[in-house]
Structure 1
Amino acid sequence: MVGEDIDFTRLAVILCKPDAVERNLVDGVLERIAAAGVSVSARTDVVAEPWQVHVAYRDTLTDPGRAPADRPAYLEAAFVGRPVVVALAHGGPDIHARLRRLIGHTDPAQAVTGTIRGDLGSDSIAAATAERRLVRNLVHTSDDPAAARRDLATWFGAGRPAPVCDFENISVVLCKPDAVERGLADDVLERIAAAGATVTNRQQVTVQQWQINVHYWDLLVDADWFPGRDIPACLEAEYAGRQVVVALAHGAPGIHSRLRDLLGHFDPPHAAPGTIRGDLGTDSLTAASAEKRLVRNLVHTSDDPDSARRDFGTWYGARRSGLLAPLLPAQIAPADA
């Protein structure tokens, strides 16, 4: 059965409708959803097929109080053969209600300011009724967990549950406080994506003391390698209470070493041109040592699968494995595979 190991109380499917695509509003819609504290992943372009539209709107088609005889024709004219964009939204157990409030009233003309339809909508039910068509209201999100399960299979492909996460294929990216404060987190993640990784689940985090101690356990236990520096105090000064950005990078096995090569040498002056630290770094180990602090080198990625597992628990939470699957449409295998 589709998604039997997925917690659909915390997952919704976002459908950016043809009017959102044609008006170039998809980025704006997904950015507003992400800005509301929802993790958006697995963005996928789809050309809608008749069966997908019929299943997605089955309640509309079968409700005798809402469905005129020509409603199937309205739906097919609005969707079939036209491009839509779908994505997954991960959040808390109230995600479905939160998203419905965020997108606003079905009729854009009645949606309040601050909602997606209220701010970006340009149609109305009155106009649609007069023109004998569906209202163009930009976006749909799953109504509840049962609808999320159905929407996932409809738009991403029916199939077996996503496999258990394999940390051979996932690295955690940590954009450090210097990257955030210099406004470089977007640049760092874009360069990682341009290198062929799929970047998902971006989150901004205020660092807690325990997180930095767990993350840099090796510096703490080998502190005698750093004479003249109080490593616990250095870590606290550089990280505790400051903002970092974390994300997941998905790729083929070997992703950990590929990303470490992309980052470059830990001392920015020694990092080669074309690497992130070589191109964007402005600090040096020499300056850091003279000031008795840690070098500011923008970004960390997991060293190997074991560290990726630990980094995930550190920055996302040990009980948040629902973020790991489903993330990529390819993880949802065909039923006859």
Structure 2
Amino acid sequence: MKQYTYMMLKPDAFQGNQPDAILKMMEDHGLCVESSQVVEVNMDVMKVLLEHYHQVIDDKGAVFNFPARLFHTFYFDGPHWIMPMKVSYTGSEDIIAYSRKLVGKTNPIEAAPGTIRGTFSHDNYDLADQENRLVNNVIHASDSIESAKRELEIWKMYLEK
């Protein structure tokens, strides 16, 4: 049975040949990018990103100031690109658990070798906090089927062909 999730390459993934290498790694693990688009982050895209991350914004609270860190990481000192992706998987494992295992831990220094973050990111929370930005961890992967459905809906304008 084909399963779907939402994934997104973040601005720091667009260095060197990382996008191609990341997509190849996903493909080598049986994940198929059904639709995607490379999008330059502008104010309209920032509005979508704010909607996408609204729960994180609420959870982190005013002191962490996620929106300011998001703007710093995804918008300022640009141009920056992201790549929203509708991803499918036909293997026997749950796509959410499978894709998140491949992606690795959110904090790249804790991500296992051979994971996407362990391979392509060398950032960490402490450095990001010192620089008042989000951690550069190259990729987002939905954390539940419900989140995947919500995120696919939010990003559908960039995923429909």
Query: Same-fold call, TM > 0.5?
Result: yes
Alignment-mate amino acid for residue 106 of structure 2: T
- Counterpart position of 1:35: 28
User: What SS class does the counterpart of residue 13 from structure 1 fall into?
Assistant: strand
CA distance in 2, matches of 1:24, 1:155: 24
- Counterpart position of 2:57: 61
- Counterpart position of 2:121: 121
Structure 1 residue 43: Cα displacement: 2.6
- Counterpart position of 1:50: 46
Contact 2:128–2:134 (Cα < 8 Å) also in 1: yes
Higher Rg: 1
* 1:172-187 paired onto structure 2 within 5 Å: none
* 1:307-318 paired onto structure 2 within 5 Å: none
The structure 1 segments of at least 4 consecutive aligned residues displaced by more than 4 Å after TM superposition are none
Contact 2:108–2:118 (Cα < 8 Å) also in 1: yes
CA distance in 2, matches of 1:96, 1:51: 25
Contact 1:46–1:83 (Cα < 8 Å) also in 2: yes
Report 1 or 2 for greater relative contact order, CA contacts < 8 Å, sequence distance ≥ 6: 2
CA distance in 2, matches of 1:115, 1:86: 19
Gaps of 5+ in 2: none
Structure 1 length normalisation: TM-score? 0.42
- Counterpart position of 1:255: none
Alignment-mate amino acid for residue 56 of structure 1: H
Gaps of 5+ in 1: 1-6, 159-327, 331-337
CA distance in 2, matches of 1:101, 1:128: 23
User: What SS class does the counterpart of residue 38 from structure 2 fall into?
Assistant: strand
Structure 1 residue 18: Cα displacement: 0.4
Task: Decide which of 86, 98, 108 is 2:84's aligned counterpart.
Answer: 86
- Counterpart position of 2:150: 150
- Counterpart position of 2:109: 109
* 1:120-139 paired onto structure 2 within 5 Å: 120-139=120-139
Render the CA deviation track for 1:54-113: whole Å, top value 9, x for unaligned: 11211210004x663522111122224631112221114600111111111111111111
Closer, same or farther: CA 75–23 of 1 in aligned 2, 3 Å: farther
Closer, same or farther: CA 36–76 of 1 in aligned 2, 3 Å: same
- Structure with the largest fraction of helix: 2
Structure 2 length normalisation: TM-score? 0.84
Identity %: 30
